[in-house]
Chain A
Amino acid sequence: MPEQQPSLDDSFIIPIGPQHPALKEFEYFELRVDGEEIIDVSVRLGYNHRGIEKAIESRTYTQNLYLIERICGICSHAHTTCYCQAIEELLGVTIPDRARYIRTIVAELERIHSHLLWLGIAAHEIGFDTLFMYIWADREIVMDLLELISGNRVNYAMNTIGGVTRDMSPELLDNIREGIAKLESRARFYKDLCVEEGSVMQRVVGVGVLQPEDALHLCAVGPTLRACGIANDLRKDDPYAAYDAVSFNVITYDGCDVASRMFVRIDELIESVRVIDQCLHCMPPGPHKVKVVRKVPSGEVVSRVEAPRGELIHYARSNGTDQPERYKVRAPTLANMPALRKMLVGGYIADVPIVIAGIDPCFGCLDRMSLVDVKTGRNWIWSSDQLRRHSLTWRQQA
């Protein structure tokens, strides 16, 4: 790398994003670079801003259940759990124990599917497509289970205000038991593989470093925070559903880099299997939902859930009618945005794909990328594929 003081005149602006046809979120990053080094990052969100909070205010609580399910395609169950908890608290309703356990099982299956999805994407971003295909093939095990439970691969529609919409039969519980045993052995296999495989470790160790002090200052959440050695997990700290009745470990690693974020997620796969296993063992009998009234008494509530990507917080205010007065949603990716900036600055363009993917946001914004030379105004467009190829060749030369 040339030893040069970064100055504005020598720098390029690299816009990344915002559009990708296949993925769940859109983001627009503008990287200011000097040669290969990133000297500043700014972010413009909202390419796909749908105004859901405004929409929620003009719909009934039942209609909102379906809207909130669709905030995210990956962690839809986390959002509805958060929503249902909030409304149940406003109503003063206690849901049946069986519903709490079913919510927990689906939440952990969702975490497994989300983490496997992430792991596959991470493998792809570092140019290890064989690993990506292996992982996504194994992800089908959990997708099949979710489909068996709910009839859907995403947007399971399992939660309802007052419990869950579907019960689980003994045969279904057996199927889940069988599935998670397979998933556990695969998770252990991937952990060994990542530790031993030099081509994985070289691309993730010491990349995208976030100091623990910065993570706390910038209010990072979830695996991003836990990879800085900070044990923070709402399932333990602020238990909901059946998490107070099961035992599991909060996984932390203290490498503060993409490698740690990877191992936190792999170990969490195994912990999720433990949680599901305990739920299956002591699944209480009884009804899976209670009937609730349509009108919600005035009040306010803060509801929090540990989604696969970290702390999810909803704030609800009711006014005695069947529509909320105000409903606020803050998903974990937004919380990790300021920290992401910290991880990127000082790093190399070649590491942008894996560092952005490291917080598990929408990596899709890398689809279309234009490089602008600020001196000549010349610019060219890179697809995510070209960027990835650049990243691989550059890494091989380095």
Chain B
Amino acid sequence: MSQRQGNTSEESTLSVLISYLGQGRTIEAKTPRARRAFLTLPPESFRDALAFLVNEEGFRHLSTVTAVDVNDHMEVIYHLSSGGVSLSLRIPVPKDKLVVPSIVDLVPGAVLYEREVHELFGIVFEGHPDLRPLLLPDCWPEGLYPMRKNLSLVQIRGVLADARATAKLGR
């Protein structure tokens, strides 16, 4: 019952994708358990891989986009799924150039997820139709990204306290 018809197994999807992309265009691939796969790609091959997964391999559902602030760089992770298989595509992004191409043209459902990551981490999604603030209060200062590791809870509370003091934010 757990294995339904039509589900591609995670290993075969990964090997198909890796051979599609060709030699040297993947950084790391792993399948820690059934129905889970993680693949690390350089930024230049990721749109190719994503289009292939969405159009050819049936990974049409994007669950969400996660960003992680690692010490010297950031990671953007796209959680795709097809049936029960969840495949996470990870791309490392250098901190001095936090720009990745938007995938909204390939997966329209990515529109709010990219906006959220942009607002909280300051990663720019090139080609996104609308990167206006979505979640943070109107008084939140531009260029300050709360989910980055260098911004502490104390600093965030300070920003909000200042906004309250100037009556830009309610109690």
Contacts and interface: CB of A to CB of B under 8 A. Distances in A.
A302 interface: yes
Contact of A315 (B61, B66, B133, B135): B66
Contact of B135 (A45, A55, A338): A45
B2 A244 contact: yes
B25 interface: no
B32 A315 contact: no
A238 B1 contact: no
Nearest to A337: B112
Given A244-B1, A337-B112, 4 more contacts: A313-B64, A325-B68, A330-B113, A335-B64
Contact of B112 (A244, A302, A334): A334
Nearest to A217: B108
Given A46-B136, A51-B146, A237 B83 contact: yes
B135 A330 contact: no
A220 B136 CA distance: 24
A301 interface: yes
Given A54-B147, A302-B36, A338-B108, A239 B2 contact: yes
Nearest to B107: A219
A271 B138 CA distance: 44
A330 B63 contact: yes
B79 interface: yes
Given A46-B137, A216-B61, A313-B63, A338 B1 contact: no
Contacts of B68: 317, 325-326
Q: Which of B64, B83, B135, B136 has the most chain A CB atoms closer than 10 A to its own CB?
A: B64
A216 B108 CA distance: 9
Interface string B58-94: 0011111010110000000101010111101000000
Contacts of A236: 1, 4, 84
B33 A89 contact: yes
A311 B63 contact: yes
Contacts of A217: 60, 107-109
3 smallest CB-CB distances across A and B, nearest first, come from A219-B109, A46-B135, A237-B84
B156 interface: yes
Contact of A219 (B7, B61, B146, B147): B61
A356 to B, nearest CB: 16
A328 B112 contact: no
B128 interface: no
A304 B1 contact: no
Contact of A49 (B64, B85, B135): B135
18 contacts: A46-B135, A49-B137, A54-B153, A216-B61, A217-B108, A217-B109, A218-B108, A219-B108, A219-B110, A239-B1, A239-B2, A304-B81, A304-B86, A326-B66, A326-B69, A330-B63, A330-B64, A334-B112
A55 B107 contact: no
Contacts of B107: 217, 219
B83 A302 contact: no
Contacts of B88: 302, 315
A218 B38 CA distance: 23
In this complex, the member of A218, A247, A325 whose beta carbon has the largest number of chain B beta carbons within 10 angstroms is A218
Contacts of A328: 64, 66
B134 interface: yes
Chain B contact residues: over half helix, strand or loop, or mixed? Answer: mixed
Contacts of A300: 38
Given A58-B153, A244-B2, A328-B64, A315 B108 contact: no
A44 interface: yes
A238 B61 contact: no
A237 B4 contact: yes
A70 to B, nearest CB: 17
B84 A234 contact: yes
A338 B156 CA distance: 29
Given A51-B146, A236-B4, A46 B134 contact: yes
A47 B134 CA distance: 10
B47 interface: no
B118 to A, nearest CB: 13
Contacts of A299: 32
Interface string B140-157: 000000110000010010
Contact of A44 (B7, B35, B134, B147): B134
B100 interface: no
A10 interface: no
Contacts of A385: none
A338 B109 contact: yes
B111 interface: yes
Interface in A238-274: 238-239, 244, 247
B134 A315 contact: no
Contacts of A55: 153
A53 interface: yes
A49 B169 CA distance: 13
Nearest to B69: A326
